[in-house]
Amino acid sequence: MNTVNVERFLRKHRQPAVVVASGLLFAVGWVVGYFHDLPRASAALMILAAAVGGYDVAKKAYYTLRSRTVGISTLVTLAAIGAIVIGEYWEAAAVVFLFALGNYLEARTMGKTRSALEELLEMTPDTALVRRDGETVEVPARAVEEGETVVVKPGAKVPVDGEVVDGESAIDQAPVTGESAPVHKATGDEVYAGTINQEGALEVVATGTGRDTTLERIIRRVEEAQEAQAPTETIIERFAAYYTPAIVVLAAGAYAVTGDAVMALTLLVIGCPGALVIGPPVSIVSAIGSAARSGVLMKGGEHLETAGKIDLVAFDKTGTLTRGEPTVTHVDGFGLDEVSVLRYAAIAEKKSEHHLADAILEAAREGVPGDTDADTGLAADGGTALEHPSSAADGPTIPDPDEFDVVAGKGVVARHGDRRIVVGNRALLDDRGIEVPDPVRNRVRDREEDGETAVHVALDGEVVGVVSLGDELRPAAAEVVRALQDAGVRTVMLTGDNERTARSVAERLEIDDYRAELLPEEKQAAIQSFREDGHVVAMVGDGINDAPSLATADVGIAMGAAGTDTAIETADMALMADDLERIPYAVTLSKATRWNIGENVAIAVGTVVLLLSGVFAGYVHMASGMLVHIGSVLLVILNGMRLLRY
């Protein structure tokens, strides 16, 4: 190894090299003094050991003092210099060597708390196979441009965000969404950079490349979250700013009263608030990294600590507790056949952006079964139970309405030719002065008590039918509600659906409470009222209409954030997949983090109190005090790292 390489090696490994050099000098100095009775040589080696190990510490103390801050480095430097001045060379060398060793071990273990981020960075693919000019060429992944077609072979990482245009395969999405099982992908499905193609070859048209991918946004979000301070960290840093100078004053006062220089210097050493300062950040960084690996993005320490206090979780219904994929289940005609009822409803809803409109249009295009019993599958209660027998592409064309108007939270009003169509809830019909006959009212009640959403269809001022829609509950919904209740968290459902449908869903899921027929601003008001009642509230939602409630809640939890920039970058907490089971995990992880921070603070304060008592009782000296201090620092780091395995 030549000189240049030696210098480069020492620069790269400066910290362990300093620890080894200081330790060797300290050991040789002790041997020379103890076995060979050469006190001057021993003293010289001890001073040299303190100088080698303490140079960086003293330099850091100088810079912190220039910024008018008295830090831990200042206390150690004062203690070491004081020990040399009064002839306690062994103590000076021991304190500096142990402090340098502790700093090195602290840096090593702290580095492991960021292992989750490193794992994410390792998932970033380096190269991509791109079709250019009729050939497949390998280029750096960051050089792929949007719109280019990328070939992903079996076993390879997907290099871009994109849409599958050819091929089928199972994709391991765990690095992005935390899903444990591979997800089947085919033409039209989204894939994310950093995920792993397990089976067949895929061709993907890039929609996000370079830094504009979901994985890159996750990495940036985790980096920012791990740097953001939690309230506890801020409080402790402020406390340390006053505590450390107070230790200097205490040591000076102890010397003035007792004249015992060794005791005063020992107070400087054992008063270091190292464990107190480092404990909360370790817990926060470990928890945020662990959550990211499981598909949960936390915005930062503040939101993580707040989430640890959550005692009420409010769920949106559609798309959160249900799949958000409603389908028409029944059509009931009153004086008009079911085919016509559904067709008129589809015409009125054609220009609507409401999620129920798509279901009605799809059902109308698929074609309601004919009017014979064998074809229609007429339900036992008289309505037509739809079976969706054909594709929408082959169904009848739905004409545009001549006039169209949306009544927010109630429905739509349209004109087609000379027919006036009203499609919506009871409130809309009441507003329009349309009477609802008893048979219609009874049928609507029956459908709603079954958990369906019943929509009235009125033609020229008369109700001619009811279209009922169902939305399947997510399989994990009941289990998630139960898990939160077991953790002592109250559950509430907020929905724009009618009272009977909401009650039916709430009873099936055994949710503690529900609020029905809410407009977006009323959901927001409900969240505010929960907070005013003293609850710490989390709101779980996925739609744009949930945005005000998510912003009002103490913690807004967005679902299915993979592929959506806004949710990843703005939500307090984002679940990368539509996986409700992540919610109890996130809530209990947050509570465990708060408890872990408390443990670390208790360890730090308890250690300082014990050491102070030991110093005044004469049982603790400089080197032993520093050893215990370092032990407490490493203990809080290891305790915080337990959250990496949560």
HEC sequence for 480-515: HHHHHHHCCCEEEEECCCCHHHHHHHHHHHCCCEEE
> Which is catalytic among the residues 56, 161, 260, 316?
316
Tokens, residue 495: 């929905």
Long-range contacts of 74-79, Cβ-Cβ distance < 8 Å, separation of 24 or more? 74/244, 74/248, 75/244, 75/247, 75/248, 75/268, 75/269, 75/271, 75/272, 76/268, 76/269, 76/272, 78/248, 78/265, 78/268, 79/265, 79/266, 79/268, 79/269, 79/622
The long-range contacts involving 168-174, CB below 8 angstroms and separated by at least 24 positions, are 168/199, 168/200, 168/202, 169/197, 169/198, 169/199, 169/200, 169/201, 169/202, 170/198, 170/199, 171/195, 171/196, 171/197, 171/198, 172/196, 172/198, 173/562, 173/577, 174/295
d(CA 327, CA 452): 10
Closest listed residue to residue 548, CA positions, set 522, 568, 580, 569? 522
Residue 297's nearest CA partner among 20, 574, 642, 89 is 574
The two tokens of residue 169 are: 């395969």
Kind and range of the H or E element at 129?
A: strand 127-132
373 in catalytic set:
no
d(CA 192, CA 635): 39
| DSSP string over 586-646 | HHHHHHHHHHHHHHHHHHHHHHHHHHHHHHHHT---HHHHHHHHHHHHHHHHHHHHGGGG-
Active site residues: 316
